Every structure is written in C-alpha cells, then in structure tokens.
Chains A and B, each alone.
Chain A
Amino acid sequence: MKLIISNVSGIPIYEQIKQQVKSAILSGELQEEEALPSLRTLAKDLKISVLTVTRAYTELEQEGFVKNVQGRGCFVMGRGSELIREQLICKVESNLSEAINAAQIADLSLQELHHLLDILWEEKKNG
C-alpha cells in the first residue's frame, strides 16, 4: 500500500494516514484480514511521531475499518462490515449529488439522467 505524507496540504498527518488507509480498504487494495504496517515501523519510515500513527490507527479502529489485536498488530475488517458499507453508500451519495448538479447545469431531465445511469451500469457490467 502506498502511504505518503504531504507537508503542504494543511491536513493533519494523522488525518492523511487515515484517509489513505481508508481509500486503500474501500478500493480493495487492502484486503480483509490484511495487516496494516506496524505502528512503530511506519512512524520510523515516515519520520513521524509514534503517537501520530497511534492516533490514526485508533480512530480507524473506532470507525470500524480495522481491528487491533494486542501484540499482533492492526488488521483490516471485512468489506462486508456495516460501517464500511455505510462509508461506501456515503461515497455513492456524494458522487450522485455531484452528477445531479452537473446534470442541472446541462439541463438534463431526471429521465435522461436515469437513462445515462442505465447505460453506464450496463457498460460496467459487461466490462
């Protein structure tokens, strides 16, 4: 998994780690039961504080993305996990809202939008 830290984004480092781990899980790059990098090794590699990584991992656990097994490390929860599903639905909703915004600007009707969605869905299904 790629994990890099930006110094100019203005986003706190723990938040950057969280976001990147989350998107790796949501995209399937990190699979269920896969281990996250060891907390202390990641801190060393990224040259950041151990407590910063601890905070990112703890919050990921609270949000249901990973589980912490004492002495063994942090593991990815299944994608079927209710919380992760919720996150995915959230993502669908926000992307759809964006599509609606663009559709309204382009003066598309709801019917035309539905039609577009059907076409794209079929295309995706057929690879």
Chain B
Amino acid sequence: MDNFLEVSNLSKAFPGFQLQNISFYLPKGYIMGLIGPNGSGKTTTIKLILNMLKRDGGEIKIMGLDNISDEKTVKASLGVVFDSNYLCEEWTVTQAEAAVSVFYKNWDKKKFSELIRRFHIAPEKKVKELSKGMQMKLMVACAFSYDAKLLILDEPTSGLDPVSRDELLKILSEYIEDGEHSVLFSTHITADLERAADYITYISYGKLFFTGNKDEFVDMFRIVKGGRNELTLDLSEKLIGIREFSTGFEALIKSEDIKMFSHLDVEPTTIDDIVVFTNQEGDHYE
C-alpha cells in the first residue's frame, strides 16, 4: 500500500457552507500541507478524516482501510495534534502519559521518556503550566510513542513562535526520513510549508483548487509587476488576481502566459502570493 491516505469525492454540507468533492492522496513517506484561508474547509476535512464529523458522501481510506468501518485499526496507527491541547489541563505530564497509553497496545514507555527529555518537557509539570509550543510537542511525543504511521496536525504552527515552529518542522522531517511515515498538516502560515512540504492540497471556499507536487504548484504561477499604463486590456484578461496602487500594479498570472508579459517584471511566486491573489473578494478564480 503506497498511499497512507486517500480521500475521494469527499462532501459535507453545513448551513451556509459546503465541502464539495474533495479528492487527494498522500503517499507513504511524504509531507502534505493542507492550505487555504480561514473558513475554507481545512478543519472540516481533517475532522471528516478522523470521523469526528459524519461525511455526506465520498470515501476516506487510511493505509488502505476505511476510516469508519475499520476505525479501531485505523486509529491505532494514526497520530493527531490539534492547535489546542486535548489533554486534561490539571494532569501532570506523567499522568497524561498514563491516561493516553492505556489506549495503545504498543505504547513505548521508554520512547516517551526519551522524547519528553529531548523536547525539554518536565514530567512533573501540569499540562496547563506548559507553553503552547510545549503542549504541541507533548502531543507529538504521545503520537510517536505508539509509533503512529500517519500524523495529522491541525494548524500546529498557529500561535507558536518562530523557534518552536522551526523545531516542529525539524521533528516532522526527521519523522518521515525513514520513508515509512507520512504527515498531513493544515496551516495558513505557508512560509513554513514553502520548503518542507512535498505535496500541497489547496482548498478554497469548500472546493479543491489544487492537489499535487508543491514545486509544480508554485511553478504554475508567476507574479508580474508594472506601471498602471502598461496594463492593456488583453493583458488584464489574463490576470488571476491583481493589486493596483497609485504607482503601479502587481498581479498573479499563469506561467503559460508568461510570454505576453515578457516586457514587464516577472518573478517567481510564493504559496502566500497564490493564496492571496486567488482569494480576493468578489473574484473567485475557477
């Protein structure tokens, strides 16, 4: 089984919001970033994968097994980290370990104590006394202690300082180094992803915008810059998103249209640029 996660035609409707036909897959041994602006459906997708929400349609396979009919088997190999801590605040780290470990047959006590030492988490501290970065690392330590094969993180970097963010990325790239583990994480801080992620799945307003190789995604677009009078009618038809200001404009174009813009400044783009320019109000790019 080469794909650790396969999502096909996933749909879920809420009043005022619809997740429509989301499909993507994550191969074994790689990191995928789930991106999109707030309210685009990232957390909904993750909750559907974890069966915390009932899907309306579609299919989700984790390591080849259905996430609902084989829920117990699936969850034994799944690690989860949320942006807010799910452990009881009054527990000490040692108590938290005792509480979580009973759910996993293959819990490795030695590994857990190694990990919290490495992450500089004091075992006698209460969960609520830990900083946000520490709490996140405690959840990661839990997932690694039962050798979760697929780690799913929902907005793990939000609220973390740059040092903790960097540490998390280091932990994740070490985790997949052996080629036997995969990571799916949602985020809106795309600078973190820019380098570490192998795959990107971009959801916008409940619809799948892109899924696939991150480098290819970034290479699909370019940023073009020029003076206001340089923006002719036929050029402006090719723009995906634009920001105009008193002395010029900045716009996102498809790389295939690059020739038409060769007389202007054309630059490589970032994931942030793409997300910003494809989510401008009243201008939904299809």
Contact = CB atoms under 8 A, between A and B. Distances in A.
Interface stretch (A44-52, A75-83, A86-94, A98-106): A44-52
A12 B170 CA distance: 21
Interface in B205-226: 213-215, 219
Interface in B160-192: 169-170, 173-174, 176-179
A51 B179 CA distance: 12
Interface stretch (B37-45, B67-75, B194-202): B194-202
Nearest to B197: A49
Contacts of B179: 40
B174 A12 contact: no
Given A10-B267, A10-B268, A44-B173, A50 B195 contact: no
Interface string A16-50: 00000000000000000000000011011001111
Contacts of A50: 29-31, 176, 198
B198 to A, nearest CB: 4
B198 A47 contact: no
A40 B178 contact: yes
A49 B174 contact: no
A60 interface: no
A41 B178 CA distance: 9
Chain A contact-residue range equals 10 to 19
Given A49-B196, A49-B215, A50-B29, A44 B268 contact: no
Most buried by A among B196, B214, B267: B196
Given A10-B267, A13-B195, A49 B177 contact: no
A47 B173 contact: yes
Contacts of B197: 49
A38 B196 CA distance: 16
Interface in A49-85: 49-52, 55
A55 B218 CA distance: 15
A49 B110 CA distance: 30
B215 A43 contact: no
B195 A47 contact: yes
A51 B198 contact: yes
B220 to A, nearest CB: 13
B177 A40 contact: yes
A51 B214 contact: yes
Nearest to B199: A51
A89 to B, nearest CB: 31
A51 B176 contact: no
Nearest to B192: A47
A4 to B, nearest CB: 13
A43 B214 contact: no
Nearest to A52: B215
A47 to B, nearest CB: 6
A10 to B, nearest CB: 6
A52 B30 CA distance: 12
Given A10-B267, A12-B268, A47 B196 contact: yes
Contact of A41 (B31, B177, B215, B219): B177
Contacts of B176: 40, 50
Contact of A49 (B170, B198, B268): B198
Given A40-B29, A44-B170, A49-B197, 19 more contacts: A10-B267, A10-B268, A14-B215, A40-B177, A41-B177, A43-B173, A47-B196, A48-B196, A49-B214, A49-B215, A50-B30, A50-B176, A50-B198, A51-B30, A51-B198, A51-B199, A51-B213, A51-B215, A52-B198
11 contacts: A10-B268, A12-B215, A40-B179, A43-B177, A44-B173, A47-B169, A49-B196, A50-B29, A51-B30, A51-B199, A55-B215
User: What 3 pairs between A and B have smallest CB-CB spacing?
Assistant: A51-B198, A44-B173, A49-B198
